[in-house]
Chains A and B, each alone.
Chain A
Amino acid sequence: MTSCSVVLEAPVRRVAIFGGTHGNELSGVFLVKHWQKNGAEIQRSGLQVTPFITNPRAVKKCTRYIDCDLNRVFDPDNLGRKVMEDIPYEVRKAQEINNLFGPKGSDVAYDLIFDLHNTTSNMGGTLILENSRNDFIIQMFHYIKVKLILNKLLHIYFYMLLKDCIPVQGLNYTDSWAKHPVGVEVGPQPQGVLRADILDKMRKIIKHGLDFIYLSFLGEEFPPCTIEVYRIIEKVDYPRNKNDEIIAIIHPCLQDQDWQPLNKGDPIFLTCDGETIAYEGDSTVYPTFVNEAAYYEKKQAFMKTVKLKLTHALSPAS
């Protein structure tokens, strides 16, 4: 194999760290606020690293959002809406963020954005990949994982959203218009709660991520690598009655079992009457975002994923 360099046409130099895209996910909120007061630990010589609170009103109210989910409005329609009085707060905010760190798709846009999130699910440290052909990100994920395991800090998972699994409008996440969007998701942590252990994990993920960017900026080359990713294939809703009310809960056997194999016949829900509902799919899947608080309204009890391997610079291999 020829030497596969991750050096791009222009190195990644301008990096933003977003916290508070959801105002009640507190690890990112407090890390970003801390770095705004004292940013020494995120600065790397030659790089421009900007910590930023994306949804300040939701942060102040300690709620996920004010009018609509900020993390779903970065699409051309919303970014192009004229500013009028009745425009949702988050759409206005998205336009502002696009002006500051974008514009989406332009040369002046920031090179890489870390968007910091928490989940109530037992997902540990998770990095979200939006494009299976992004060699730079695949190398970075591999680097972070090796560093974390080496230091016995935590195991980290890679969760892949692919454009072809998201219906029509494409990805509209807060960071998805950057050249290199990186979602960081650490759990379990209740909404509105700040846990020291979760904060520490997120902090270490960012530290190693920035180290990688810095080493790349200095011209270091990384050998080809392979990472294992969990690719989303389907959302599963709660069982509901005619009035759309939830009538069953995530089964105790599935609760907290994110990333563990789920096979045909395994329990997934428990009805309020005590009956078990089993998984009926034929193939093994790996559930994630099991019992995430914010997904009740989105009608998602958990996500089904499949495991696959990605080798950088190549298409997904089986």
Chain B
Amino acid sequence: MAALQRLQPVRRVAVSGGTHGNEMSGIYLVKHWLREPSALQRDSFSATPFLTNPLAIERCVRYVGRDLNRTFTKQFLNSKAARDEPYEVQRAREINHLYGPKGSAEAFDFLFELHNTTANVGACLIASAQDNLLPMHMCHFIQTHCTPGYYPILLYNLPDQETYSISSVAKHGLAFELGPQPQGVLRADLFTQMGALMACALDFIDLFNKGTTFPAFEMEAYRFIGSVDYPRHPDGELCAAVHSKLQDKDFLPLRPGDPIFQTFSGEEILYQGHTTIYPVFINEAAYYEKKIAFNKTEKCSLSIPALQRE
């Protein structure tokens, strides 16, 4: 097994809510923490809460000009201000200035992003890739220490793909994705659960800063491999809905021949792949325009080496 790995302590931590302005758990938690910051304070650091997309939050929409959480790439972060650019491009540069710059030594140590989905993913923990040890240990800590629940881990980055989400601005990051919750709705159960996740994650950072050794472990995770669009008419209109047997079955195995869609005329469409996959983000409201009915993932086992601060 790989030797103990060492990382710098984590001092500068930020928590972003409202990256999508209609995902309410994070918005209301951050607003609450802005009024009462004590919940984000630990012996070794204090996390800074901030609202990511104020204009979208005010209008209760996902975004105003373009999806902010696909805008933290070199192309946009290095762009010059232009009069007709989308609001989110300007906001991404601002956030990069405040909490980055992305990839630099001055960047924040850790950035959390808080999201909701209309899909039945439970309390999903999303990291870019397994090679960033700190978030992987944090996920494991949450799975073993947080209130009993289902905390599947999703690795979203394809090999060699540039990271694009807000947490990629900091040195380390993790997203909490809680669902199902409709856009524009705040449910008490998810609000409470997201608060508990955050508390647990901050406890982990505090223990890490204080020198705790986190032993090596094996874990299961789901790795993003692609997406499936809805069946459409030639004019682009949907001609089928997600099949009722697939609806709400996020992270459960989908085998070749299983039904995935049902057309409005009553026909079933079956999954044509050759291997078992694990669909996630099934029937997410925001993904209709992205032409995604669900994302495909594969289940993998990871060996994570032990970790301690430098």
Contacts and interface: CB of A to CB of B under 8 A. Distances in A.
Given A33-B237, A245-B31, A196 B242 contact: yes
Interface string B181-198: 111111111011000000
Contacts of B61: 63
A188 to B, nearest CB: 7
Contacts of B241: 30, 194-196, 199
Interface in B112-131: 118
B78 interface: no
Contacts of B217: none
A291 B191 CA distance: 14
A267 to B, nearest CB: 10
A293 B183 contact: yes
A293 B24 CA distance: 10
Interface in B1-53: 28, 31-32, 36
Interface residues of A, number: 36
Contacts of A38: 265
A142 interface: no
B188 A190 contact: no
Nearest to B238: A30
B262 interface: yes
Contact of A291 (B60, B185, B238): B185
A277 to B, nearest CB: 12
Nearest to A199: B241
A193 B188 contact: no
Contact of B189 (A31, A192, A252, A272): A252
B264 interface: yes
Contact of A192 (B242, B264, B286): B286
Main secondary structure of the interface of B (DSSP, over half): loop
Interface in B238-275: 238, 241-244, 247, 262, 264-265
B285 A193 contact: yes
Interface in B138-185: 180-185
Contacts of B262: 196
A291 B183 CA distance: 11
Nearest to A256: B187
Contacts of B289: 62
B297 interface: no
A272 B182 contact: no
A49 interface: no
A292 B183 CA distance: 10
Nearest to B265: A38
Given A249-B188, A252-B188, A30 B264 contact: yes
Contact of B283 (A194, A255, A293): A194
Contact of A190 (B31, B32, B36, B118): B118
A117 interface: no
B238 A296 contact: no
Contacts of A297: 60
Contacts of B186: 246, 249-250, 291
A310 B270 CA distance: 47
Contacts of A291: 185-187
Given A62-B288, A196-B244, A272-B32, A191 B187 contact: no
A299 interface: no
Interface in A171-210: 188-197, 199-200
Nearest to A254: B188
Contact of A120 (B182, B237, B238, B243): B182
A273 B195 CA distance: 11
Contacts of A109: none
Contacts of A188: 182
Interface in A266-302: 270, 272-273, 291-294, 296-297
A72 interface: no
A11 B9 CA distance: 79
Nearest to A118: B182
Contacts of A190: 118, 180-183, 185, 285
A195 B288 contact: no
Interface in A200-252: 200, 245-246, 249-252
Nearest to B180: A190
A207 B215 CA distance: 61
B250 to A, nearest CB: 14
A293 B182 contact: yes
Q: Which of A196, A270, A294 has the most CB of B within 10 A?
A: A196
15 contacts: A30-B264, A62-B289, A190-B185, A190-B285, A191-B184, A195-B242, A195-B244, A195-B283, A196-B244, A250-B187, A250-B188, A252-B189, A272-B28, A293-B184, A297-B60
Interface of A: 30-31, 33-34, 38, 62-63, 120, 188-197, 199-200, 245-246, 249-252, 255, 270, 272-273, 291-294, 296-297
